[in-house]
C-alpha cells in the first residue's frame, strides 16, 4: 500500500494498520475536509500538489495543515489503550 506515513512518530503509530489509522482519523478529526486530507495523504500516498488540487487548496495550505493533523492523530493514538 502506498502511503506517506511519517517515520518520526511513536512506534505505536507506526505499527497501526490502515483500519486503525482510519478509525482514529474518523473519530478525532471532526472536519470532513481535514479527514479527507489525512486519509488521502497519509494512507493513500497522494502528493501534496495533487491533494491540493482535489480539495481546492494551495499546496502550501496543505503543507501547513498536515503537521496539525498528524499531531492530532498521534495524540489520540497515545490516549487509546
**Predicted model pTM:** 0.87
pLDDT computed for residue 8 by the predictor? 67
Q: What domains, with CATH codes, occur in the chain? A: 11-79 (1.10.10)
pLDDT computed for residue 21 by the predictor? 92
Which residues neighbour 55 within 8 Å (Cβ) at sequence distance 6 or greater?
33, 36, 37, 62
In whole angstroms, what is the distance from residue 51 CA to residue 58 CA? 9
pLDDT computed for residue 1 by the predictor? 45
What percent of the chain has a predicted confidence (pLDDT) above 90?
69
Provide DSSP, 29-81: --SHHHHHHHIIIIIT---HHHHHHHHT--HHHHHHHHHHHHHHHHHHHHH--
Average pLDDT over residues 39-59: 95
Amino acid at each position: 500500500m502506498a502511503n506517506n506515513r511519517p517515520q518520526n512518530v511513536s512506534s505505536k503509530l507506526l505499527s497501526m494498520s490502515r483500519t486503525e489509522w482510519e478509525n482514529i482519523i474518523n473519530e478525532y478529526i471532526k472536519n470532513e475536509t481535514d479527514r479527507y486530507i489525512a486519509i488521502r495523504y497519509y494512507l493513500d500516498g497522494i502528493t501534496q500538489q495533487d491533494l491540493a488540487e482535489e480539495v481546492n487548496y494551495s499546496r502550501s495550505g496543505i503543507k501547513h495543515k498536515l503537521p496539525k493533523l498528524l499531531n492530532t492523530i498521534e495524540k489520540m493514538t497515545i490516549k487509546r489503550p
